[in-house]
Amino acid sequence: MSTRSELVIQDLVKAVREVLWRHDVTFEEYRAAVGFLMKYTKGPEFEVPLTCDMLFNATISDIEMKHRKGSISNLEGPYFLEAVPEIADRIKTRGEQGDELIIEGRVTDLAGNAVEGAQLYIWHSDSQGFYSGFREDLPTDLYRGRKVIGPTGAFHVRTTMPAPYTIPHDGPSGELLGFLGRHPWRPAHVHFKVRAAGFVEHTTQAYFAGGQWVDSDCVEGVRPALVHEPEERGGAKVLKINFVLDPA
Ligand code: DHB
Ligand code: FE
């Protein structure tokens, strides 16, 4: 009996060979492609996961949903950090920057019961598209937090609006985007991860209707169910979002 990796890798090779046949790919073109791949051995290490995520992470999230009934998952991206401050109702930001954003909703099981004790991780960029912990001037307690969900399942967190962001594009990943005729921008988004004992870990993102690049995300992560139309409340934007967890 074949192992799972044999099956998947054999099919992958077959699919690539079919494409080579379909387009009469020449030896010269093949050598150029190998030359391109060699650039990954000379660039920074993050270029390999970056290219893989750019092309396939959202697909893996979609496949995962075949086996789940809860709210839909989406890419984690490269900027999740485990060690973040526990928050009450406010994420620490550079207060002078960016519109206020209120994020509120509930964490429930499939039947709508509160999942008390769930850990809701929230992280997003600052108003210029930068993530804390990945720049000298942005310590990791900014723009990130972990909310412990109480008995009603509800949460209400204040922060600031994230901004569109370019993925690193001065290396081979950027060159590949160029080959595909694509720009390097992601639309403004907020990341979430929910962990609770007895439930599948849930990782997702929220996007904003009408925002720049929502229709052409460079990592093709946007799904209609993840695009929110925020309400206005006292000068702040309000993102209403519920997390429905699947049992483990
Ligand atoms: C990727 C995802 C993100 O959420 C982000 O901010 C940057 C890059 C990615 O999948 O490559
Ligand atoms: Fe992100």
Alpha carbons 190 and 211: distance in angstroms, whole number:
13
Q: Is it the case that residue 136 has pLDDT exceeding 90?
A: no
* pLDDT, mean of residues 200-221: 96
Centroid of ligand 1 to alpha carbon of 152 (angstroms): 32
Q: Which ligand is nearest to the CA of 76?
A: 1
84, amino acid identity? V
Centroid of ligand 2 to alpha carbon of 112 (angstroms): 28
Give 22-34 pLDDT, tens digit per residue: 999 999 999 999 9
* pLDDT, mean of residues 104-109: 98
Q: Which fold has domain 60-245?
A: Protocatechuate 3,4-Dioxygenase, subunit A (2.60.130)
Q: Is it the case that residue 58 has pLDDT exceeding 90?
A: yes
Report the nearest-CA residue for atom 4 of ligand 1: 77
Q: What is the pLDDT of residue 3?
A: 94
- Cβ 122 vs Cβ 191: under 8 Å: yes
* pLDDT, mean of residues 79-90: 94
Q: Is it the case that residue 1 has pLDDT exceeding 80?
A: no
* pLDDT, mean of residues 124-135: 93
Residue 43: pLDDT band (50, 70, 90) is confident
* pLDDT, mean of residues 153-178: 96
* Mutation test residue for ligand 1: of 46, 53, 122, the one with most atoms within 8 Å of CB: 53
* pLDDT, mean of residues 161-178: 95
Q: Is it the case that residue 139 has pLDDT exceeding 80?
A: yes
Q: Where are the domains of the chain?
A: 60-245
Report the nearest-CA residue for atom 5 of ligand 1: 77
Tell me, yes or no, if the pTM score tops 0.85.
yes
Centroid of ligand 1 to alpha carbon of 172 (angstroms): 16
Cα dist from 162 to 127, 134, 197, 238, whole Å:
5, 15, 30, 13
Residue 100 CA, chain-centre distance (Å), reads 21
Q: What is the pLDDT of residue 96?
A: 66
